[in-house]
Amino acid sequence: MTIRILLADDHRMFREALCSQLAAEPDVAIIGEANTGAEALEALQGEAPDVFVLDIGLPDMNGIELAKRVTREYPQIGIVALSGYAERMFVEEMLKAGAKAYVVKSAGMSDLLNGIRAVAKGKSFLSAEVTGLMLRRVGANENKIAPPVTVLSRREQDVLRLLADGRRAAAIAGELGISVATVEVHRRNIKDKLGLRTTADLTRYAIREGLVAP
């Protein structure tokens, strides 16, 4: 059986190199490429692939939300998440969104092919690094599931979005028309409501909730 693949990744050189290597496999056929989420959705309206290899860091659309939409509208298509992120949060969210495999970009081509072939057969697959991550004992803070973004006020969501975008307190204050002291109050409230303590945790949460792009 030939596995028909749609590949979505916004890094052209990486995508072209990947397509070249995949096309050399006798049981794999690349039927489409996409640079953005919008292009991927347009391609899916044509010939449906067996497997959708999806980079979760597309420029116009959160890969997690795109996976949810594809799973809802095209349940017969298997999704392989291909990502530079090896954090537990991204893995869990992509799997919940419907992906059947998660492969980090630092893994070898053999891992990606194993993932594609497993998904084409209706099975699941995690690359070695991800398997180790999911099996490893984690602390209480990492196990804790942060609440949905709706627990934050609209102003707190604005502050979180700008924090996750790398803005400093003074820049956030200027953009939102509030004082730096008020920004710091919002920051403390956000951390308390979400149970998160570091800027990295807040950034991962903002990406998961679709406030900023990966």
- pLDDT of the residue at 173: 94
Q: 3-135 architecture in CATH?
A: 3-Layer(aba) Sandwich (3.40)
Q: Where are the domains of the chain?
A: 3-135, 142-208
- pLDDT of the residue at 141: 45
Distance of CA 1 to the CA centre of its chain: 29
CB 191 within 8 A of CB 160: no
Token output for 161 = 């979005």
Return d(Cα 198, Cα 3) in angstroms, integer: 42
- pLDDT of the residue at 165: 85
- pLDDT of the residue at 203: 86
> What phi-psi label fits residue 58: left (phi over 0), alpha (psi between -120 and 50 degrees) or beta?
beta
Edge-to-edge strands, sheet with 101-104 = 28-34, 3-8, 51-55, 78-83, 101-104, 125-126
Token output for 142 = 């990492």
Report helix, strand or coil for 199: helix
CB 91 within 8 A of CB 135: no
Return d(Cα 78, Cα 81) in angstroms, integer: 10
Q: Name 75's Cβ contacts closer than 8 Å, sequence gap at least 6.
A: none
- pLDDT of the residue at 140: 41
CATH 1.10.3720.10, domain 142-208, yes or no: no
For the whole model, what pTM was predicted? Answer: 0.66
- pLDDT of the residue at 135: 58
Sole residue written with tokens 């969501």:
157
- Could you read off the pLDDT of 77-107 as tens digits, one per residue? 999 999 887 777 788 888 889 999 999 988 8
- Domains 3-135 and 142-208 agree in fold: no
pLDDT in tens, the chain (214 residues): 899 999 999 999 999 999 999 999 999 999 999 999 999 999 999 888 999 999 988 888 888 889 999 999 999 999 999 988 777 778 888 888 999 999 998 888 999 999 999 999 999 998 888 877 665 533 444 445 567 787 889 899 999 999 988 889 999 999 999 999 999 999 999 988 888 888 888 888 888 788 887 6
- pLDDT of the residue at 108: 85
Task: Work out the mean pLDDT of the chain and round it to a whole number.
Answer: 87
- Termini Cα distance of the chain: 35
Sole residue written with tokens 């692939």:
49
- pLDDT of the residue at 166: 86
